[in-house]
Amino acid sequence: MEGVGPDTLVAVNEERSGALLAVESEMGRLVRAIRSTLLQNALRFSSEVQPSGYSVLRSIVANDPTPPGAIIADVGMDKSAVSRQLRVLKDLGFVTSAPAPDDRRASLYSPTPLALARLDEVHREIKAAYADVLDDWSDTDVSDFVRLLGSFNDRMERR
């Protein structure tokens, strides 16, 4: 690396170190925004569903039909919390359960048509909100953001 001395490397390392600290700060802001958005989305879906229940429902929709163990792994909640949310969702008519074909003692959960219809409404509202937030971004910037965020999430999940 011709023309790059120790002072330049220190400056680059300090610059990267500062940028990494900024990532931590911005991630904190993002986590707060995500929590707020999750709460708003859960309320949009139903005032009787907690954000954790909304996350459980989204996992069920994405993996329909799905056993509780897969939901637990997907949402990162403990077994008792997932069981509680499944009970609430079932009592409210948002999910159904059926015996697993390979093990009749196990249950598989699926969303009801009511849940899917409400989620569709929520997704339209979410899409409109993101369109508003990203309104002045180019299509390329939005695509780059999605790609970089996906790559970041993939690496974080592998840690």
Read off the pLDDT of residues 23-36 as tens digits, 9 standing for 90 and up: 989 999 999 999 99
DSSP designation for 137: S
Q: Which tens digits make up the pLDDT trace of 99-142?
A: 988 888 889 999 999 999 999 999 999 999 999 999 999 999 99
Would you place residue 86 in the very low, low, confident or very high pLDDT band (cuts 50, 70, 90)? very high
- State residue 4's pLDDT score: 56
Bridge partners of 103, per DSSP, are: 100
Neighbours of 95 (CB within 10 A): 26
Is 10 a residue whose pLDDT tops 80? no
At 106 the pLDDT is 86
Distances (CA, A) of 136 to 26, 30, 139, 145: 20, 19, 9, 13
CA distance 24 to 28: 6
pLDDT on residue 149: 94
More reliable by pLDDT, 9 or 96: 96
Mean pLDDT, residues 83-95:
97
Does 150 score more than 80 pLDDT? yes
Confidence of residue 5 (pLDDT cuts 50, 70, 90): low
9 band by pLDDT with thresholds 50, 70 and 90: very low
DSSP state of 66: B
pLDDT score for 18? 87
